[in-house]
Amino acid sequence: MTETIVIKVGGHASKLLDDQFYHQLAKWRAQEKHVLIIHGGGPQISQWLDLMKLPNHKEDGVRVTTPACLEVIQAVLLGVVQPALCHQLTTHHLPVVGLNTNDHHLLAGNYLDQPHFGEVGQITGVNQAWLDQLLTNEIGVLAPLAQTASGQLLNVNADTAAAEIATRLGASKLVLLTDVPGVLKAGKVLPRLDQTGANQLFAHHQITAGMMPKLTAAFSALKRGVANVSITNDLTQSGTALAHQVSA
Ligand SMILES: Nc1ncnc2c1ncn2[C@@H]1O[C@H](COP(=O)(O)OP(=O)(O)O)[C@@H](O)[C@H]1O
Ligand SMILES: CC(=O)N[C@@H](CCC(=O)OP(=O)(O)O)C(=O)O
């Protein structure tokens, strides 16, 4: 069976990609592995919301999304962040195609908690057959937007989206590429982290902001069968590798 690798490229990380990143993608392609990139765009969205004088607020790393914010988020993800990322990959001679949920009903979703978060979703389905076919020839670059059965677009945290998609595709590997070298404790990267260790960090408020949904998503993927899950700023380094159990 063909191996699938899902990489989440955060909004910060998308501006920091280096040659190692492109070489690694080329290597996986040469090995005929399927590669799917889910991109974020949080910092770029925040910038545009401020420019448009719209609410710019996250709770535990999840953006509270009004209908007006959603229009800007869609425009920024699909009109700014995704084309820039596809351009960078193309410049490095990688075969890419930019994707969003409207293509072949790629990502089905429903509301996470509409009274609280507004137009924010969670993914309930992935068009795997179509994606599998596409990934045979191309690297997919997919925005974290889902669609309800009635066609309503929903904003999904990109880490949560990547973990759910990796799980549903039966991916062997999920990399959450970010702007820090891994999960930090007292300024040092933890090479391995299990759920108990993460709970302790949560309890001591050593995990804040965007790292919260990232870790929750990462453990969800690990527990549901994605064998290799890591949080890193370098595709060739495992940063923090998530583990079922880290021996004391
Ligand atoms: N214990 C921690 N270790 C590393 N980063 C952490 C930790 N707690 C909070 N963070 C924050 O999480 C950020 C990464 O999450 P986020 O900003 O959402 O990135 P991305 O845009 O890549 O998803 C880091 O830049 C850091 O500020
Ligand atoms: C619901 C929610 O929080 N959606 C995110 C989607 C983009 C994202 O997650 O981007 P990063 O990975 O770069 O932070 C947002 O609006 O910022």
Residue 29 marked ligand-binding: no
Q: How confident is the model at residue 132, as a pLDDT?
A: 95
Q: How confident is the model at residue 28, as a pLDDT?
A: 97
By C-alpha distance, which of 204, 182, 203 is closest to 193? 182
Ligand 2 centroid from CA 70, angstroms: 11
Q: How confident is the model at residue 60, as a pLDDT?
A: 86
By C-alpha distance, which of 71, 61, 65, 66 is closest to 11? 61
Q: How confident is the model at residue 248, as a pLDDT?
A: 65
- Describe the chain by its helix, strand, coil percentages, rounded to 5: 40, 25, 35
What is the residue with the minimal CA distance to atom 16 of ligand 2? 63
211 Cβ contact partners less than 8 Å away, ≥ 6 residues apart: 61, 183
204 Cβ contact partners less than 8 Å away, ≥ 6 residues apart: none
Question: ipTM above 0.90?
Answer: yes
3-state secondary structure of 20: helix
Q: Is 209 in the pocket of ligand 1 (CB under 6 A)?
A: yes
Residue ranges in the chain modelled with pLDDT below 50: none
CA distance 36 to 166: 9
Q: How confident is the model at residue 103, as a pLDDT?
A: 83
Q: What is the largest distance, in Å, between two alpha-carbon atoms of the chain?
A: 50
Q: Are 213 and 61 in contact (CB under 8 A)?
A: yes
Q: How confident is the model at residue 20, as a pLDDT?
A: 95
Distance of CA 228 to the CA centre of its chain: 15
How many residues are recorded in the chain?
248
Element (H, E) at 89: helix 82-91
Residue 40 marked ligand-binding: no
**4-242 homologous superfamily:** Acetylglutamate kinase-like (3.40.1160.10)
By C-alpha distance, which of 234, 165, 242 is closest to 18? 234
- Strands 34-39 and 4-9: what pairing? parallel
The token duo for 178 is 């970010």
List the chain domain ranges: 4-242
Q: Is 118 in the pocket of ligand 1 (CB under 6 A)?
A: no
Task: Kindly give the residue spans of alpha helices, DSSP state H, lying in the chain.
Answer: 19-30, 42-51, 67-76, 82-91, 114-117, 128-135, 158-169, 195-203, 211-223
- The model scores a pTM over 0.90: yes
pLDDT by residue (tens digit) across 11-44? 999 999 999 999 999 999 999 999 999 999 999 9
Q: Is 54 in the pocket of ligand 1 (CB under 6 A)?
A: no
